[in-house]
Amino acid sequence: MDVFTFLNSSTMSADLNFANLNLSLPPPPKPLGVYKPFLIVGNLVYVSGHGTVKSDGTLIIGKVGVDMDADGGKQAAQQVGLAILATLKKNLGSLDKIGRVIKVLGMVNATPDFERHPYVINGCSELFAKIWGEDKGVGVRSAVGMGSLPDNIPVEIEAVFELA
């Protein structure tokens, strides 16, 4: 996406913005427990914690600070963002049905001495900003470290969106 397109992305279609990134969505993940991956309450969309599902359905695995550096973790967080987008597309049919990002909670499977959790979660936050624009694509956020995550994935993210 060129600079002009990115700067004007808040006035463009979210689906078109995604297409301009030349990224592909992985298959929407299936629940690994007793929960709903997607739920609408009023005008809010809640998306359960998603992991690092790749386009072939496999997972990125490893601990940040041991198996990958902060940049590898950031790439993993972008992949989680793509998995969240896949769930939104499956359930809503279009990313244009999202009005704004409300909240992102990012969890990083990291060593105790790792301190760059916000940088890692930027992988997802920057993706959302490119899709919905700098205003509507950025919400409130937490980025925290965990001693472990399911299946030894490096990042898990849950999010809340407002419907358009």
What pTM was estimated for this model as a whole?
Answer: 0.92
The per-residue pLDDT for range 12-59, each reduced to its tens digit, is 899 999 999 999 999 999 888 999 999 999 999 999 999 999 999 999
C-alpha pair distances (Å), 126 with each of 33, 39, 81, 91, 111: 29, 24, 9, 23, 24
Domain limits for position 70: 3-25+40-163
Q: What angle do CA 12, 87, 105 make, to 5 degrees?
A: 85
Q: How many residues appear in the chain?
A: 164
Is residue 75 situated within a structural domain?
yes
The per-residue pLDDT for range 124-140, each reduced to its tens digit, is 999 999 999 999 999 99
Is residue 54 situated within a structural domain?
yes
Is residue 9 situated within a structural domain?
yes
User: What is the CATH classification number for the domain harbouring 138?
Assistant: 3.30.1330.40
- Determine the 3-state secondary structure of 3 from DSSP: helix
Is residue 32 situated within a structural domain?
no
Is residue 31 situated within a structural domain?
no
Is residue 30 situated within a structural domain?
no
The pLDDT score that the predictor gives to residue 32 is: 84
Is residue 10 situated within a structural domain?
yes
Domains identified in the chain, total number: 1
Is residue 35 situated within a structural domain?
no
Q: Please, which residues have CB within 8 angstroms of residue 63's CB and are 6 or more apart in sequence?
A: 109, 110, 111, 148, 152, 154
Look at residues 22, 7, 82, 97 and name the one whose alpha carbon lies nearest to residue 52. Answer: 82
